[in-house]
Amino acid sequence: MKKTLLIAAIALIGTSAFAQTDTNKQSEKVTKYVTTFPNGEEAITITDKSTSSKLELSSADNFYKYEILETANHELVHGSENRGKICDIDKTKLDEGTYTLKVYTDDFVITSDITIDKEGEATGA
């Protein structure tokens, strides 16, 4: 019984020490938005890392542009041309809030809602 209590005490001390050192690091929150085609295959994926100033946009098909629109009035907030299946979107050009993202391929316009949350973002010096 004493041996079991000693092992448990050592395990708790080790866990507490690890937890204390881990809290000093800034945790990164990763949010993924996945939009699928009607057949269930992934159409686009948007990855938002809280410690990054960019959104990562990837598409199953090549796309030639994207647009970010205000959800309420569909006013263009930001957009860019693209070649390929992947691009980065500068989050610093967007205020916090929910937006509609449109990705234009040769065959489709893929639409997804995204939310920009600047809380917890890394701040540059």
Structure confidence by residue, pLDDT tens digits, 30-56: 889 899 888 989 999 999 988 889 999
Evaluate if residue 94 carries a pLDDT over 80. yes
For residue 94, what are the contacts with CB-CB under 8 A and spacing of at least 6?
68, 77, 78, 116
- All structural domains of the chain, each given as residue ranges with its CATH number in brackets, are 30-116 (2.60.40.3080)
At 27 the pLDDT is 80
Predicted confidence band at 26 (pLDDT cuts at 50, 70, 90)? Answer: low
Evaluate if residue 74 carries a pLDDT over 50. yes
Smallest CA-to-CA distance from 45 within 36, 63, 54, 29 is with 36
Query: Can you tell me the distance from the alpha carbon of 103 to that of 13, in angstroms, rounded to the nearest whole number?
Result: 51
Q: How does the average pLDDT of the chain come out, rounded?
A: 78
